Amino acid sequence: MKKISALLAALALTACGENASAPQSSGASPDAPAPPADRGRIAFNECGACHTVREGDGSRIGPNLYGVFGRRAGAVEGFAYSAALRNADVVWDEASLDAFLTRPQDFVRGNRMAYPGESDAETRADLIAFLKSLN
């Protein structure tokens, strides 16, 4: 019975223009956890209220974060940073982003980012993996 159901499903897909022999997934088990960058993309939805991430997009309340890795803090052209962030001696990498995302006000005192921070280390790691994937 299972073989007949599989055959009927393959025929139905073929009739719809689908290639029944083409892989239907990336090969990962449906139970496999999502990669960190994918989880970070989901976690970033909250950040998207203030930040854009596509190359060439403008800034919102916060600067565009495309290409943030390796960039000096306070360096997005045309964004009105606080003096604290503009003058910070920080280049964004995993360690600096982790510290900043943990408690922005503690990492760069006097910055204007209203975000209180993310206490969950795994969520921060996922966000950082997503941001790194943008470079």
**What is the reported pLDDT for 103?**
97
Contact 64, 58 (CB under 8 A): yes
Domain spans of the chain, in order of start: 33-133
Beta-carbon contacts of 64 under 8 Å, excluding residues fewer than 6 positions away, are 51, 52, 53, 54, 57, 58, 76, 79
Considering the four listed CATH numbers 1.10.760.10, 1.10.3720.10, 1.10.3210.10, 3.40.50.620, the one that applies to the domain covering 33-133 is 1.10.760.10
**What is the reported pLDDT for 14?**
31
Q: Which of the 8 DSSP states describes residue 71? A: P
23 or 107: whose pLDDT is higher? 107
When pLDDT is cut at 50, 70 and 90, the band that residue 18 belongs to is very low
Contact 108, 102 (CB under 8 A): no
For the chain, how long is the longest CA-to-CA vector? 70
Give the global pTM: 0.74
Q: What tens digit of pLDDT does each residue of 36-55 get?
A: 999 999 999 999 999 999 99
- Whose tokens are 């930040």? That residue is 51
